[in-house]
Amino acid sequence: MDESESTAPQQAIVLTIRPSSGSTFTTAISTDSTVLQLKEKLATADLPAASIRLVYSGRVLKDDDQLSVYSIMEGHTLHMVKSATNRANEQAVQTVRPNANSNAGGPDGFDEQAMMRSFLENPAIRDMMSNPEMLRRVMMSNPQTREVMENNPEVAQMLNDPAFLRQSLDMARNPKLMKQALRNNDRALSNMEMIPGGFNHLRRMYHNVQEPMEASRSAPQPSTDDLNERFAARLNADTRPNAGTLNNTALPNPWAPPPRSNNATGSMGGFPGMPGMGGNGGGMGFNPFAGNPFAALGGPGAGAGAGAAGAGSNAASGAQAFQNPFAALMGGQGVGGQGVGGQGMGGQSMGGGNQAGSPFGFPPMGNNPEMFQQMMQFNQMMRQMEQQQQPHTSQPSSQLPPSMPSFANMFGGFPPVAHPSSATTPTASSASAAATTAATPAVPTQPPEERFEMQLASLRDMGFSDNSRNLRALLASGGDVESAIEFLLRM
Amino acid sequence: MTDHSTLLLKKQLKELTKRPVEGFSAGLVDDNNIFEWEIMIMGPHDTLYEGGFFRAIMTFPTEYPLMPPKMRFTTDIYHPNVYPNGEVCISILHPPGEDKYGYEQASERWSPVHTVETILISVISMLSSPNDESPANIEAAKEWRENYPSYKKKVQRIARRSAEEM
């Protein structure tokens, strides 16, 4: 220590700088320079002097002090840390950056998701989002949203729930959760549709919840030939039945791999029988949250942003998404509807890590054991149905892909099921209404008792003696013993 | 004995000044007292504490290295294994031989091979993965276990505040 005082004031020393990320480097500086001078020396374009923190010997160095105050000597190492307090300044830079990305980030939807994520990660946005009051005000400031909310108390309720808003945004930040939720949503909806009466239920939901939201989202669109054609194309309907004659060609399969780039999660978007459903992306088919008011809470670049909101990566519906009045809520930027739309599903996971979620995306459902039990009954019903259908497997089904993995397993465990696509497609509707033949490929399956024989045995070994409950748990968990145990314990 | 501990601590201090370990910086509170160290822990990346600067005082007993030092955060910190007064509760800082918590194995407790560096590395890893078996701050442990989002928010706020206070 005495040594430092005895050294000449002008003496230059070599210091090692250890940044919080990256490798260390050295710099030479005289001991009588101030900390601020050292910082200026270290500053780069990315890291201005103002946001550098230097830590030495357990202390943060103060700008005005000379280095000699801290008795820093030749060869010593300083920690260089990026300061967190200056985030507010960085945010301006950050909000511009995604814009640039969006131009390059192009056709694939994941870029958009990443972009949206980075936007949501932005501390300022996060602060704002975590303030439900603010969020609400933003939404309420839009006359169309207000109208929807006034006409639909359920929707208003949803938007008024701060917990829901927060969850949605958390969800949008987590790409894995989001993807999972979207997938579950797809499955759940497709399964619902096959349950007797389920289709009608979905239709009701659509009319009550989604339609008003969609309607407010896009300017009223008359059903034009052009539009119909576009939807038909999206549903793989390439032939047009002749008016007045019976349409006896097989109906198009909306789930077949589309000729154009339609990303996997978009599958539910083009649900048959639901013409004009708009934003064919993100698997948001019937998710009442799909017409998603948050779709526009900010986000980079109106172009890509709005595209994400409506359409995932589907350029065709991008055009429609542009008309989204919500997209203008915050500087004309959209936060992919995909993200938030999926929320309803993934928000709650059922016992055993089994994201059974709710087909309608209503968060409370996931928490409601009764509801879940009902689902399980549906589930069983469907299995029966499917077994009855097995004799009919010979029905021609050339248009349907042999397996539809994304529709299997609504609750994780049940086998790929036959898919009665008995609905009419929007364009083919008039003539084909009579010909609602269902092409139903049923995949032969073993009964669950056989499929889960081993798992059942191990559950029995573990002391779960009730076979039917075990079976139920296994079905719910998709055969995963650990999740099944968790499920059993919660039941 | 005191000479031995002084020498050992001086050696460690010199080493840490020249070649510091990522995540913390160590120095003396008072240059004339080698038994009291000032520690600055920089919130580790990818944890809730990221961006925070946590100051702590480490006090060494004269019996060091036979007995462990004590470490106390002087910055506010909210963590299941840190007492509300800032004292850090990790098994390697518990004196050997006496098993007052009843479940720790001798190998988990203090041993003379530990240095300031190994202690601080343990503390840093404790920050990112709390051990809720022996919570020092019961409220924090409960919140961590039962209401993680709220715990997360609180910790992040504290980390932010700690950076602003610098």
Q: How many CB atoms lie within 10 A of CB B81?
A: 24
Residues A109-123, buried b or exposed e (16+ Cβ, 10 A)?
bebbbebbbbbbebb
* Token pair of B64 as six digits: 């060091």
Question: Quick one: CA torsion of A90, A91, A95, A101, rounded to 10 degrees?
Answer: 40
Q: Of B25, B28, B51, which has the smallest distance from its Cβ to A55's Cβ? A: B25
Residue (of A105, A399, A112, A109) closest to A263 by Cα position: A109
Active site residues of B: 89
* Token pair of B15 as six digits: 């080493």
Q: Which range has the worst mean pLDDT, A345-359, A377-391, B26-40?
A: A345-359
Helix, strand, or coil (residue B15): helix
| Amino acid A377: pLDDT | 63
- Pairing between β-strand A12-19 and β-strand A77-82 as defined by DSSP bridges: parallel
Residue A472, pLDDT above cutoff 60:
yes
Reported confidence tier of residue A217, pLDDT bands at 50, 70, 90: low
Q: What percent of chain A has pLDDT over 90?
A: 0
Reported confidence tier of residue A14, pLDDT bands at 50, 70, 90: confident
The model's pLDDT over A378-433, given as tens digits with 9 standing for 90+, comes to: 656 666 655 555 444 444 433 433 333 333 333 333 333 334 333 333 333 333 33
| A266 or A185: which leads in pLDDT | A185
Does this complex have an ipTM over 0.90? no
Q: Are A363 and A161 in contact (CB under 8 A)?
A: no
| Amino acid A374: pLDDT | 60
How large is the average pLDDT for residues B31-38? 88
Distance between CA atoms of residues A418 and A410, nearest Å: 13
Contact flag B51-A84 (C-beta cutoff 8 Å): yes
The model's pLDDT over B96-148, given as tens digits with 9 standing for 90+, comes to: 765 655 666 666 788 888 888 889 888 888 888 888 777 888 888 888 889 88
The model's pLDDT over B53-73, given as tens digits with 9 standing for 90+, comes to: 888 999 998 888 888 999 999
Q: Rounded to two decimals, what is the model's pTM? A: 0.38
Closest residue of A to B15, CA-based? A76
Residue A19, pLDDT above cutoff 50:
yes
Contact flag A18-B22 (C-beta cutoff 8 Å): yes
Residue A163, pLDDT above cutoff 80:
no
Contact flag B51-A21 (C-beta cutoff 8 Å): no
Instruction: Name the most confidently modeled range: A64-68, A166-170, A384-388, B40-44.
Output: B40-44
Residue A470, pLDDT above cutoff 80:
yes
Contact flag A59-B27 (C-beta cutoff 8 Å): yes
Residue (of A214, A360, A184, A352) closest to A280 by Cα position: A214
Residue (of A419, A382, A416) closest to A397 by Cα position: A419
| A43 or A125: which leads in pLDDT | A43
CB contact set of A76 (below 8 Å; sequence gap of 6+): A15, A16, A56, B17, B18
Residue A69, pLDDT above cutoff 70:
yes
| Amino acid A63: pLDDT | 82
Residue A84, pLDDT above cutoff 60:
no
| Amino acid A304: pLDDT | 35
How large is the average pLDDT for residues A117-134? 69
How far is the alpha carbon of A129 from chain B, nearest alpha carbon, in Å?
Answer: 13
Reported confidence tier of residue A166, pLDDT bands at 50, 70, 90: confident
Q: Of B22, B25, B153, which has the smallest distance from its Cβ to A56's Cβ? A: B25
Distance between CA atoms of residues A168 and A178, nearest Å: 10
Contacts of A127 in chain B (CB under 8 A): none
Contacts of B164 in chain A (CB under 8 A): 85
How large is the average pLDDT for residues A433-443? 39
Reported confidence tier of residue A70, pLDDT bands at 50, 70, 90: confident
Main-chain dihedrals φ then ψ at residue A35, nearest 5 degrees:
-60, -40
Q: Of B37, B51, B160, which has the smallest distance from its Cβ to A58's Cβ? A: B37
Contact flag A84-B17 (C-beta cutoff 8 Å): no
CB contact set of A338 (below 8 Å; sequence gap of 6+): A109, A113, A178, A182, A265, A281, A282, A283, A284, A308, A309, A312
